[in-house]
Structure 1
Amino acid sequence: MRVIFFSTQQYDKTFFNKFNDSYGFDIVYHKSELTLQTVNLAQGSDAVCVFVNDKVTEEVIIQLSALNVKIIALRCAGFNNVDLEAAKRYGLRVCRVPAYSPEAVAEHAVAMLLTLNRKTHKAYNRVREQNFALNGLLGFDIHGKTVGVLGTGNIGRAFCTIMQGFGCRILAFDLVANKEMEAAGVEFLPLIEVLKQSDIISLHCPLTEQTRHVINKDTLELVKPGVTIINTSRGGLIDTAAVIEALKAGKIGALGIDVYEQEEKLFFRDLSDDIITDDTIQRLMSFPNVLVTAHQAFFTAEALSQIAITTLKNIAELAEANNLTQKAALLV
C-alpha cells in the first residue's frame, strides 16, 4: 500500500520510518504542500497524509478521487483545513490524531506565558552581552492570578491542571462543562465572564465557524487592561488586526502565539535569507511584549511518536476492506 506524504519535514521521515516497520507501507515523502497544483503527486497512491497547512478543498478532493485515492490521513488533531462534506460525497475516508500528547501543547503554552512574564528571552540575550541590569525585566506573580481557558478538551484540561499547580484560580468556557474538572476546582462560566475576570487567557478550542475570531475587537473590549493572551491552538481564533490595535492601545499586556492566521506562507520554512512581505506578522514581531513561535507546541519526541503510531494505525485499519469501522479516528 502506497502512502504519499505532503508538507514533509525531516522529523516526519524519522518518526514515521521508525514505526512503519510494523506495517510495511510504501511511503513517499514530498516537501510540497497539498494544493490543486501539487495534487498529481498523489498519483498511484492509496492514501495521502497531510498536515495543518495543507488545503484539502473540494477541488483537491475531486482530483484525489479521480486518482483513486481512498484515504486522507491527517497527522494532526485539527481538521478545519479539510472539506469533510466533499470527502464524504466523493467516498474518501478521513482520519486524524485526536490526542497525541496534550501535555506537549499545554506545557508550551505555559512556557510562553513564563517567558513573556519573566522576560527570560530578553535576560538571556542581555547577559550574553554582559548586561546584568534588571531594568525592563519586571514580571508578576502567576500564583493567585485568574486564568481563563477557552476550550477544555485534552489540551485545555492539561493546561488547567498545570496552572492549578501554580496556585491560580481557573475559569473555563466550553459548550459543555466537564464535571470532573468542576470537581477539581475549575469554574465553568459564560464566555463573557471568563473574558472579563481573567488576568491570563489561553486558547485551546478547535477552529470552527463558531470560534473563528473569538478574540476580536468586541471581545477585547471586555478583557482586563494588561491581560496576557496565549494561543497554541489555531491562528484563526484571533483577529490579528484587532489584536494589533489592542496591543498599540495597551489593552493587551502580553501576547504569545504559536499559531498565526497566515502561517502557511511562513511556518515550517527557513526564511532567514528572504524578505518577508507579510506586514502583519512583521508588525506583531515588532512589539516587545509579543512572543511568536512557529507552531512548535506539538514538537516533542513523545508527541511525534504518538502521531506516527496513531496515523499509521488509522491508515491500516481503514485499508481493511471489511473493517472500515470506528476503530480509527474517523471523521467521515
Structure 2
Amino acid sequence: MKVTFFNTKAYDKQFFTEANQAHGHQLEFLEVPLNENTCVLAKGATVVCVFVNDTVNAPVLRQLAENGTKLLALRCAGYNNVDLPEAAQLGVQVVRVPAYSPYAVAEHTVALILTLNRNTHRAYNRVREGNFALNGLMGFDLHGKTVGLIGLGKIGLVTARILKGFGCRVLGYDVQSCPEAEEIGLEVVSLDQVFAEADIVSLHCPLTPQTYHLINDASIAQMKKGVMLINTSRGGLIDTQAVIRGLKTEKIKYLGIDVYEEEGNLFFEDQSGKVIQDDVFMRLLSFNNVLITGHQAFFTSEALHGIAQVTLQNITDFEQGQTLVNEVKA
C-alpha cells in the first residue's frame, strides 16, 4: 500500500524504513509539511501519514480525498490538528499512536523540573567561561514538595511514580477515574486543589475545546506564589500572554515548556540563521527563569521505534480490513 509521509526528518525515514521490513508498504517520504499548498503531493497515495504540526483542516482533507486518500495515519498521540467531522463526512478514517513510550515524556518532564530547580543549564555555561560562583544558582529540595499533575493517563502516572521516588507529595486531577492512583500513592483531588496546593504544576492532558487555555489568568491567580509550571503536553493548554503576566509579577517563579501554542512555524527546524518574528515567544526567552525545549520530550530511540511499529500496524490493519483499534472518530 502506498503511504506518503509529510514533515519527515532523517530519523523518521530511518525508523519507519526499518519497521516496514515486516509490513512491505510502499513508503514515500516528503520533507514539506502538509497544508493546502502541498496536499497535491499525496496524489495516488491511499494513506497519508502526518505529525503534530501538519495542517489537516477541511480544505486539506477534501483535497486528499479527491486524490484518493482513504486513511490518515497520525504518527503521534494528539489529533487536535485534524478536522474529524470533515474526515468522517469524506469517508477518510483516522488512526493515531495513543501510546509509545510514556517514559520518554515523563522523564523529560522531570528533567525540566530538575534543570529549572538546580540551574544546571546556567551552571554549565558559567563553568565553561571559568565562572565558578554559586550566587544565583540556589535551588530547593524536591523531597517533601507537592506536585500537581493535570492528566492521569500513561504519561501522568509514570511521572507520578518518578516523583514519588523523590519523596514528593503528588496530587492528580483527571476527568476520568484513576484506579492506579492508590497503588502509586497518588492523591486524586479537584482541579482547584491542584492549583491551590501544588508547588509544581505539570500538564499531561490532551488539547480539547475544554482544556484550551486551561492555564489562564484565573487559574494562575489560584496558584501559590512562586509556583513552577511545566508543560510537556500541548502548547494550547497555556495562555502564553497570561503566563508572561504571571512571570512578571513573580507569581510563576519557574516555567518549563516543551511545547508552545504557536510552535508550528518554529519547532523542528533550524531557525538559527533567521530573525524570529514571534514577539511573544521572544518575550518568553527573555526571562532567565524560563526553560524551553523544542518539542523533544518524545524523542528517544524507544519512542521512535514504538511510533513506527504502531503506525505501520495501523496501516496494515486497514489494508487487511481488520478492526482499527487506534481509530479516532469525531
TM-score by length of 2: 0.98
> 1:184: Cα distance to partner?
2.5
Corresponding residue number in structure 2 for 1:167 = 167
Q: CA deviation at 1:68?
A: 1.1
Take 1:248 and 1:141, find their aligned partners in 2: how far apart are those partners?
24
Is 2:67 aligned against 1:70?
A: no
**Deviation at 1:250?**
0.4
- Give percent identity, aligned residues only: 55
Shift of 1:182: 2.4
CA distance in structure 1 between the partners assigned to 2:135 and 2:302 by the alignment: 38
Q: What amino acid is aligned across from residue 305 of structure 2 in structure 1?
A: S
- Cα distance in 2, alignment partners of residues 182 and 318 from structure 1: 38
Question: 2:55 is paired with a residue of what secondary structure?
Answer: coil
Match of 2:326 among 324, 329, 332: 329
Distance 1:160 1:264 in 2: 29
Match of 1:270? 270
AA matched with 1:53? N
Residue 83 of structure 1 corresponds to: 83
- Aligned counterparts of 1:315 and 1:84: Cα–Cα separation in 2: 18
Superposition deviation, residue 183 in structure 1 = 3.5
Does the 8 Å CA contact 2:160/2:184 hold for their aligned counterparts?
no
Offset of residue 179 of structure 1: 2.0
Q: Distance in 2 between matches of 1:57 and 1:145?
A: 43
Q: Distance in 2 between matches of 1:184 and 1:69?
A: 44
Q: Structure 1 residue 122: deviation in Å?
A: 0.6
Cα shift readout 1:125-174 (whole Å, capped 9, x = no counterpart):
11111111100100000000000000000100110010000000111110
- Which residue in the other structure is 2:141 paired with? 141
CA distance in 1, matches of 2:81, 2:179: 31
Counterparts of 1:13-162 in structure 2 under 5 Å?
13-162=13-162
| CA distance, structure 2, for counterparts of residue 143 and residue 15 of structure 1 | 39
The match for 1:286 is: 286
Indicate the residue corresponding to 1:225 in structure 2: 225
Number of corresponding residues: 329
Secondary structure of 1:221's counterpart equals helix
Over 2 Å off, 4+ runs: none
Q: CA deviation at 1:96?
A: 0.4
Q: Hey, what's the Cα distance between the residues in 2 that align with 1:215 and 1:331? A: 26
Q: Show the counterpart of 1:189.
A: 189
Contact 2:73 2:94 in 1 (8 A): yes
Between the aligned partners of 1:188 and 1:24, the Cα distance in structure 2 is 45
1:330 partner amino acid:
E
Structure 1 equivalent of residue 305 of structure 2: 305
Q: Give me the whole-angstrom Cα distance separating, in 2, the residues matched to 1:177 and 1:45.
A: 41
Q: Give the TM-score, by structure 1 length.
A: 0.98
Q: Secondary structure, in 3 states, of the residue corresponding to 1:179? A: coil
Listed one character per residue, the Cα deviations across residues 219-259 of structure 1 (whole Å, up to 9, x for unaligned) are 00000000000000000000000000100110001000000
- Paired position in structure 1 for 2:249: 249
Q: What SS is found at the alignment partner of 2:27?
A: strand
User: Is the 8 Å Cα contact of residues 231 and 258 (structure 2) preserved in structure 1?
Assistant: yes
Q: CA deviation at 1:55?
A: 1.2
User: Contact 2:147/2:170 (CA < 8 Å) preserved in 1?
Assistant: yes
Amino acid at match of 2:200: I
What's the offset of the Cα at 1:177?
2.8
Q: Structure 1 residue 6: deviation in Å? A: 0.5
> Structure 2: any 5+ residue segments left out of the alignment?
none
Distance 1:189 1:276 in 2: 41
Cα distance in 1 for residues equivalent to 2:309 and 2:197: 41
Secondary structure, aligned partner of 1:52: coil
Structure 2: distance between partners of 1:165 and 1:67: 52
RMSD: 0.8
Q: Write out per-residue CA displacement over residues 91-126 of structure 1, whole angstroms, 9 at most, x where no aligned residue.
A: 111100000000000000000000000000111111
